[in-house]
Structure 1
Amino acid sequence: MTSSSDKTITDFALVQLIPNMLTVAAICAGLSAIRFGVQGNYVLAVQLIVAACVLDFFDGRVARMLNSDSKMGAELDSLADFLNFGVAPPLIIYFWALQDMRGSAWIAVLLYSVCCAMRLARFNVSNKTEPDEVDPQGAFFVGVPSPAAGMLVLLPMSVSFAFTDTPLLPDLIICLNMVLVGYLMISRVPTWSLKSVRVARRNVKFALVAFAVIGAAVLTYAWITLVILCVGYIGMVLWSLLGNWSAKRH
């Protein structure tokens, strides 16, 4: 006889594990990026961080599509974000250009990573206890999200890969960029979210063509395209800052 204390075992369809598989793949990409950064293969290291961004973009959406989102998946995603965008990018750029500064550069790395951890912790707590802190329509994030922050920290490397093989900015500027991006993660500045984008039925064909153009640009001129996307995102952040400042004045 089966004891009443026995627990019911629920089987999961393999397809329901796809979101967590994507998150685990992103973790592997982030760890491998650190490895290749230590070895001096910086181009591949940055490419792996970009791959982690793409995987991070899709894992949550796939989970919602398959109705397989879970608390464990959410925690796993948060841990992956810290590794992939809070630890790997500052370490890679430190190995690439900042080892001559030693202590000063390492302080910038630590500040950025701590800011990323604080941002993720705030987001997790806000989702559970302070729903008003999160835009219910998903139109804005509070502060710069960690994937975007990781790409902004790596922007000096992307610029270098696009135009030359040597750093184009002084080490101090690279450190200040890292600290500033870290601050923007924990700031209250509303930053635009792709979740809010809606495409009218009559414009779907244009959206698909635009996606094809961006995809072709990434495949043909990867680094220049990445730089343009980062600069465009910086423009949106500045627009949000100006809008927030103007609203406070009035």
Structure 2
Amino acid sequence: MNDAPDLADDVEPAPRPRRKGIYILPNLFTLAALFGGFYAIVMAMNQRFENAAIGIFCAMVLDSLDGRVARMTNTQSAFGEQMDSLSDMVSFGAAPALIVYEWALKGMGKLGWIAAFVYCAAAALRLARFNVNTGVVDKRFFQGLPSPAAAALVIGFIWLMDDSGYKGFREGPWLGWTAMGFTLFAGLTMVTNVPFYSFKDISFKRTVPFIVIVAIALSFALVAYHPPTVLFALFVVYGLSGYAMYAYRKAKGRPVSVIATSTDEPDEQGLHR
């Protein structure tokens, strides 16, 4: 009879990996941005397009804050990054496509929903490319029009027209074609390699001249005077600024790519050009 002790009984079980918690502060901003996008869809379904536009612009403000809050409080996480991308897809991809379709494109038949789908698909592609190119893109620029700005371009046009008394496809084909033009321009510009200034190199910890604070106060006053007109004009200028920068760099013989370094991943080389 074997009286040797059973060594398996003496081996302690491996400790279970500790589950990581979820930082609540930055994700609160992300969830609030997601709520803004969902709220905008519901308002559009009820033909309340001004409220839908306000929902999208509120989502933009909240989306710009969640990352900064995470960096300031040192609460960045992989979960937060994925949550932010999913929220962006709803608020700046699906929501604007559905809103513009409901407002003007559904009266154009098949062309209308195809244009809305092109925008939605472009937003998904742009967000996916952004996620995989994070380590190689020059932080000072976006590769293609960022999805919040694209959403602001489309929704800003709807808000301006609705505020002026134009009720979408009921006004005639001209408004449907114009809305389609803005939708396709915004969607396709998202997936170009045109550089758009990201404003990420602006530090809020540095001192600035007094005139800068005065200019900021005047900007708030200008937006408050008539938000639909001012916001739409600002994002039209921003939407064209990338092409102007691209043309200027091309004319000066400077590199137009925003890729800062090369990559050794041959299967993804097409994403980095």
Normalising by structure 1, report the TM-score: 0.86
Are 2:73 and 1:63 aligned?
no
Aligned-partner SS, 1:183: helix
- Paired residue type of 1:115: A
- Paired residue type of 2:15: S
Aligned counterpart, 1:52 = 59
Match of 1:246 among 232, 248, 251: 251
Aligned counterpart, 1:190 = 195
- Paired residue type of 1:90: A
Aligned counterpart, 1:5 = 15
Aligned counterpart, 1:151 = 152
In structure 1, what is the Cα distance between the partners aligned to 2:66 and 2:208?
A: 28
Mark the runs of 5 or more structure 2 residues left unpaired by the alignment. Answer: 1-11, 256-273
Aligned counterpart, 1:21 = 28
Aligned counterpart, 2:143 = 142
Mark the runs of 5 or more structure 1 residues left unpaired by the alignment. Answer: none
Residue 140 of structure 2 contacts residue 199 of structure 2 at CA under 8 Å; is this kept in 1? yes
CA pair 18-98 structure 1, distance change in 2 beyond 3 A:
same
In structure 2, what is the Cα distance between the partners aligned to 1:17 and 1:197?
A: 26
In structure 2, what is the Cα distance between the partners aligned to 1:202 and 1:78?
A: 33
Deviation at 1:159, TM superposition (A): 2.7
Deviation at 1:220, TM superposition (A): 3.2
Match of 2:110 among 100, 103, 109: 103
Match of 2:216 among 201, 211, 218: 211
Aligned counterpart, 1:76 = 83
Would you tell me which structure has more helix in proportion to its own residues?
Answer: 1
In structure 1, what is the Cα distance between the partners aligned to 2:88 and 2:163?
A: 26
What does the per-residue CA deviation read over 1:44-67, in whole Å, with 9 as the maximum and x for residues that have no partner?
000000000000110000000000
Aligned counterpart, 1:85 = 92
What does the per-residue CA deviation read over 1:215-242, in whole Å, with 9 as the maximum and x for residues that have no partner?
2233332112212212321341231231
Deviation at 1:160, TM superposition (A): 1.2
Aligned-partner SS, 2:74: coil
CA RMSD of aligned residues (A): 2.4
Normalising by structure 2, report the TM-score: 0.79
CA pair 57-126 structure 1, distance change in 2 beyond 3 A:
same
In structure 2, what is the Cα distance between the partners aligned to 1:75 and 1:157?
A: 30
Residue 154 of structure 2 contacts residue 182 of structure 2 at CA under 8 Å; is this kept in 1? yes
Q: How many residues align?
A: 239
Aligned counterpart, 1:177 = 182
Point out 4+ residue stretches in structure 1 off by more than 6 angstroms: none
CA pair 195-149 structure 1, distance change in 2 beyond 3 A:
same
Aligned-partner SS, 2:142: strand
CA pair 179-244 structure 1, distance change in 2 beyond 3 A:
farther
Aligned-partner SS, 2:160: helix
In structure 2, what is the Cα distance between the partners aligned to 1:11 and 1:166?
A: 47
Aligned-partner SS, 1:141: strand
In structure 2, what is the Cα distance between the partners aligned to 1:198 and 1:235?
A: 25
Residue 33 of structure 1 contacts residue 88 of structure 1 at CA under 8 Å; is this kept in 2? yes
Deviation at 1:192, TM superposition (A): 0.7
Match of 2:37 among 25, 30, 36: 30
In structure 2, what is the Cα distance between the partners aligned to 1:72 and 1:10?
A: 10
Q: Percent identity?
A: 33
- Paired residue type of 2:42: R
In structure 2, what is the Cα distance between the partners aligned to 1:93 and 1:3?
A: 58
Match of 1:41 among 48, 72, 94: 48
Are 2:122 and 1:112 aligned?
no
In structure 1, what is the Cα distance between the partners aligned to 2:254 and 2:20?
A: 56
Aligned-partner SS, 2:15: coil
In structure 2, what is the Cα distance between the partners aligned to 1:197 and 1:124?
A: 22
Residue 161 of structure 1 contacts residue 223 of structure 1 at CA under 8 Å; is this kept in 2? no
What does the per-residue CA deviation read over 1:27-78, in whole Å, with 9 as the maximum and x for residues that have no partner?
1110111001000010000000000000011000000000001011001001
Structure 1 stretch displaced more, 218-227 or 98-107: 218-227
